[in-house]
Structure 1
Amino acid sequence: MIPNWLLKRSSLTPSRTALSFCGKQWTFQELKQEADLIARKLRMNGLEEGDRIALLGPSNPDMVFVIHGCLLAGLEIVMLNSRLSTKEILWQLGDANASLLIVEDELLRQTKIQDVPMITFSSLQSSEQRDFTISKMWNGSRTITIMYTSGTTGFPKGVRQTAGNHTSSALSSVLNLGLTEEDSWLCTMPLFHISGFSILVRSVIYGMEVKLYEKFDTKTIVDEIRNGTATRMSVVATSLRRILEEFEETETVAHPTFRTMLAGGGPVPDDFLRRAESRKLPVLQTYGMTETSSQTATLSSEDALRKSGSAGKPLFFNQIKIRDTEQPGELGEVLIAGPHVTPGYIGHAVDRDPLEDGWLPTGDIGYFDDEGYLFIVDRRSDLIISGGENIYPAEVENALLSHPLVKEAGVCGQSHPVWGSVPVAFIVLSGDVAEEELDMHCGELLARYKIPKAYYFVDQLPRNASNKLLRRELKEWASLK
């Protein structure tokens, strides 16, 4: 059994700061009061323990209150990505079979979702309350969150993340990073991502302040790091680049109390690591996925340049092995095991077991060196990582192929100086189509970051004898453009 995170934390350190946003602060006791109020209003709206709801909101305090309110009410939360198109959101709602959508008012206006059982943040706030007894202990197998991750077939899978998964992830992280009473985690990651949600989990388990930002404000963020008002932060390479440029422009360095720049979403360029070192920014590269509730392996800052390109070593409770290998340096598929690994999926993938003999096949190709450091050679081969966002080519191809004049489509990543990689499409047409028309077509079906940044019209796509698309050849084509 696992203690109810917020109830336990608010009883241990009620007056400690839990959340900061735009100059306003909430203690853990105040956070518990806000969440308790939401939980009782959720009960008044007919939601009972074990019900599954979907949540669509921004990264602001109201979203934090609703998240914790849902947890106190014993609900499973389907975390919806606010950057998705309306069609993508509706697909996930249908697949998840959520009983209710809880949506922030402005996002409802933007997405124009209709004909779905829902309640807005403002309507929830004005609801009456119904008393109930909040569970003080959770079963470790209780599903806390469900996050959709794109699949190689183009159909996202709803990944279950349990109380045990999240707790194990937080404990493994703190055993690696350490903890002080002065720690404050600066959060610019979306709360619907595992990277953002995991910061909220760490906060209530550690008793640590979260400095929440709805939007990435480089100057203000650098001020926090420089002035010592934040001690840790999670980034992807693109946001790290913006922070470095601001430090360099002002010719300043991080405050001595700043301890961790946790970098995920793909490898950090050596140039960034050298520049970060000169600005007293300890960058720790990490490797994880939605199925592992955030980190699985992390590279320490002192090894960042010595082990350039490495994802580090498995964290305390976690195990990693390379399929069918015996010696250091041998390449194979990365397999993961541990209490942080998902027990399964929901919806159309509910019957798919994520494990093989207790191990999660990641699809990533990697190796261990002779010192036990993990190196990822290919991120699930077809996966495009653009500014920390995962894009699967099959999903983009499916959208393109729904256009009546697109006969064939092949999508791959093309190197980009800012985003690391961006999707580009090779297309065989059956008629005349302008690039602008394809942009508009994809814009109705896909999140903006998934829309191809270039279209290359070709007579045929590279295929093997089985008519399977040869993506490696597409990547070679893209590198020549």
Structure 2
Amino acid sequence: MLSPCPTTCFPRSATRLGKTGRSALPEPATDRFHIHAAARLTIAGQPVALRSSAAPCPPGPVPVCDIAPLPLADALPALVGCLASGAPFCVSVTPAGLQEPAGTFHTATSGSTGAPKRIRRSHASWIASFRETARRWGVTPDDRLAVLGGLDQSLSLYALVEGLHLGVTVDVLTGLRPDRQAAALDGVTLLYATPTQVGQIVQADRPLPALRHVAVGGGAFGAAQRAALARLAPNASVEVFYGAAETSFATLSDATTPEESVGRPYPGVDLRVDEASLVWLRSPYLFDGYAVGHSDGTQIVDGWVTVGETGYLDDAGNLFLTGRADRMFTVADRNLHPETIEAVLTAQPGVTHAAILPLTDAKRGAVPVGFYAGDAAPEVLMAACRAALGPGIAPRWLRPLPDWPLLPGGKTDLRALSRLVEGGA
């Protein structure tokens, strides 16, 4: 049984879908989300009324507002009510009876390598990056920001809440076909998107001259994708960020970043790499722990956090990732990061996605095997891997998949592919 949105923190009549107008909202304490007086909100072109009649959430723990099971037309008003009152909310299914104090919310990890975990965050952890966005992008009330994914996707939720907090017009395009989303981007100036979402926009081939800034996150974003987006949005600066649900923004890269690097530290972030090659960071954007679930790879020590990513820093402070510690496996007593092989594969013409996984082997402990999406021939890709990495690292086999398994956020569903390996695919 899911916990309903608490009526103790805001009346259900406080926010409703509407077609006309909205009331100016008061500015609350700076460590809480709020809805800026200049903010506008639409869903598929229809205005959502923003009202300020929500009573402040009382002190002490209260039931978490469960937005996850609600249809979008109900979820948006419920979320707006939580933002106006400070009531705790979640955008992923949460056990009944869970309580949190005001100024708290939950998101979820992608679940690409394991069961999704519920991330506990304070409003302040996102507000700190809202301020940085406003400074770096020069955000004004004249800006329009589009939300492409569902509210259960952390990037989409972030974009929505940031836009309302900073006072721009937010166009929620969730659920529209990619071609209709691309058409609705006409006039949008700010955009957060995953590489998959950018690919769908590019495929629609509609010019986007109004775009000023695009932030891409959630996966690799190559030079060809950047060039395709630049052709449609010639006036946009394009930033690619690396981070995790636990850390939020960690690094930023742009057209000047060295190839294969995820960039330099995001403003306000300190980075270091330890003797085990684990990447650690410290910033005002960190999570407050897991509300549900845990991760063996996540460690918190004296204000520094690692989520198990490995890598190295060059002399200029650019971060290069080599993989995740929890994906590494041993081949003939040699540690192998599957991301090393995946990078070779995705650099080949005709490959859009690739994943390498371990297959148990009696002699070597495990051997790498893989799947890919695209029209490249397996023997060509095998030869490329042997040439780049040597025969000891090249995968034993590669198989094309016509239907690539993706999670809602656009990341590869590695658990689904692991089941194919285990089943003898």
- TM-score interval, smaller chain: 0.5 to 0.7
Shift of 1:319: 1.7
**Residue in 1 that maps onto 2:226:** 273
d(CA) in 1 for partners of 2:369, 2:91: 27
Unaligned runs of 5+ in 1: 81-88, 101-137, 325-330, 398-408, 419-447, 460-480
Describe the SS at the equivalent of 2:95. helix
In structure 1, C-alpha distance between the alignment counterparts of 2:356 and 2:165, rounded to whole Å: 34
Q: Say which SS state the counterpart of residue 152 (structure 2) adopts.
A: coil
1:212 matched residue in structure 2? 172
Q: Return the alpha-carbon distance in structure 2 between the equivalents of residues 321 and 457 of structure 1.
A: 37
Q: Is the 8 A contact 2:39 2:163 kept in 1?
A: no
- How far apart, in 2, do the equivalents of 1:51 and 1:352 lie? 30
Distance 1:155 1:23 in 2: 35
User: 1:210 deviation in Å?
Assistant: 1.0
CA distance in 1, matches of 2:303, 2:60: 33
Q: Distance in 2 between matches of 1:380 and 1:31?
A: 45
* Distance change (3 Å), C-alpha of 1:350 and 1:297: closer
Q: 1:414 to 1:354 in 2, by over 3 A?
A: same
Letter of the 1:231 counterpart = T
Deviation at 1:61, TM superposition (A): 4.4
The match for 2:98 is: 98
Distance in 2 between residues matched to 1:174 and 1:335, nearest whole Å: 26
Pair 1:213–1:268, CA change in 2 (3 A) = same
- Tell me, yes or no, if structure 1 residue 79 matches structure 2 residue 101: no
C-alpha distance in 1 between matches for 2:106 and 2:306 = 21
- 2:77 is matched with which residue: 48, 62, 65? 65
8 Å Cα contact 1:343/1:354 also seen in 2: no
Aligned-partner Cα distance in 2 for 1:207–1:223:
23
Counterparts of 1:458 and 1:191 in 2: how far apart (Å)? 34
- Matched AA of 1:158: R
**Maintained 8 Å contact 1:6/1:32:** no
**Matches for 1:235-314 after TM superposition, within 5 Å:** 235-247=193-205, 253-255=207-209, 257-279=210-232, 280=234, 282-292=237-247, 294-300=248-254, 302-303=255-256, 307-314=258-265
> How much is the aligned-residue C-alpha RMSD, in angstroms?
4.3
Structure with more helix by fraction: 1
Say yes or no: does 1:54 pair with 2:66: yes
Q: 1:167 — aligned with what?
A: 127
> Runs of 4+ in structure 1 displaced over 6 angstroms?
350-353, 383-386, 391-394, 409-413
* Whole-angstrom CA distance in 1 between matches of 2:295 and 2:218: 26
One-letter amino acid matched to 2:128: S
Per-residue deviation at 1:235? 1.8
Going from structure 1 to structure 2, the CA distance change for 1:347 and 1:286 (only over 3 Å counts) comes to: closer
| 3-state SS of 2:179 partner | helix
- Aligned positions, number: 332
- Structure 1 counterpart SS, 2:183: helix
Q: Distance in 2 between matches of 1:173 and 1:56?
A: 27
For residues 83-120 of structure 1, the C-alpha deviation after alignment (integer angstroms, 9 at most, x for no partner) is xxxxxx5xx526xx4369xxxxxxxxxxxxxxxxxxxx
Matched with 2:371 is: 414
How many angstroms does 1:417 deviate by? 3.7
Counterpart selection for 1:21 from 40, 43, 46: 43
Q: Which amino acid in structure 1 is aligned with residue 90 of structure 2?
A: V
State the Cα distance separating 1:73 from its structure 2 match: 4.5
1:406 corresponds in structure 2 to: none
User: Helix, strand or coil: the match of 1:198?
Assistant: helix
**Hey, what's the Cα distance between the residues in 1 that align with 2:147 and 2:356?**
26
**Change in CA separation of 1:190 and 1:295 when aligned onto 2, cut-off 3 Å:** farther
Deviation at 1:222, TM superposition (A): 2.6
TM-score normalised per structure 2 = 0.65
**Distance (Å, rounded) in 2 between the aligned partners of 1:457 and 1:351:** 23
Once the two structures are TM-superposed, the CA of residue 17 in structure 1 deviates from its matched residue by 4.5
Which of residues 105, 117, 126 in structure 2 aligns to 1:144? 105
**TM-aligned CA distance change 1:173 to 1:336, over 3 Å:** farther
- How far residue 258 of structure 1 moved from its aligned partner, in angstroms, is 0.7
Structure 2: any 5+ residue segments left out of the alignment?
1-28, 329-337, 343-352, 360-365, 376-411
C-alpha distance in structure 2 between counterparts of 1:351 and 1:372, whole Å = 28
Contact in 2 for aligned 1:60/1:212 (Cα 8 Å): no
Note the C-alpha offset of 1:311. 2.1
Residue 374 in structure 1 maps to residue 319 in structure 2: yes
2:420 is the counterpart of 1:455: yes
User: For residues 80 and 171 of structure 2, what CA distance do their matches in structure 1 show?
Assistant: 16
State whether residues 311 and 320 of structure 2, in contact with CA within 8 Å, keep that contact through their aligned partners in structure 1: yes
